[in-house]
Amino acid sequence: MPLFYVAGVSGAGKTTVCAELVRRGHPAYDVDADGLAEWVDDTYTLSPATVRRLAAEVGDAVGFVCGSVGNEGEIWELFAHVISLSVDADTVRRRIAQRPNGFGSTKEELQRILGWHATIDADNARFGATLVDASQSVVAVTDEVLRMAEEYR
């Protein structure tokens, strides 16, 4: 099951990388855009059953699920590896500002995102994710994600 989870804070570039993976012909799913996650008791969750279904759909191909959910502790073990996109706080602010009606468009939401940003790299690395510098171009970031997938396949 070579299904990889591409995680990271809001504004890290998960959706952009997902679109580039699809453009390059890889099976890639966006947790938000593809409607894979749902709210359960105030937590945005991706069910283990959904991850297993996607893994079965991917089969022997290398596939990707891109997103961030509140129950990652329940699903990480279902992936071949977790790749976490890492960016600095200024990049997060700049990218969030470019999506005026999306999550992070209010001052309160932006503060929540920056709060998550303060610990996400250390937390994800501690749990075994490989960090990828996502401040580079989408082509360079996607190349690195694919290199990581090949290494952990």
Tell me which residue range forms the domain holding 125. Answer: 3-152
Q: Among 20-29, 46-55, 63-72, 107-116, where is mean pLDDT lowest?
A: 107-116
CA 100 to CA 106: how far, in whole Å?
Answer: 9
* Count of domains observed in the chain: 1
Total-model pTM: 0.93
Of 37, 34, 38, 36, the residue nearest 19 (C-alpha) = 34
What are 146's two structure tokens?
Answer: 């694919």
- Percent of the chain with pLDDT strictly greater than 90: 79
Instruction: Express each pLDDT in 29-41 by its tens digit.
Output: 999 999 999 999 9
**CATH code, domain with 37:** 3.40.50.300
**Buried residues in 42-77 as b, exposed as e (16+ CB within 10 A):** eeebbbeebbeebbeebeeebbbbbbbbeebeebbe
Which pLDDT score is estimated for 1? 54
Q: Are 131 and 120 in contact (CB under 8 A)?
A: no
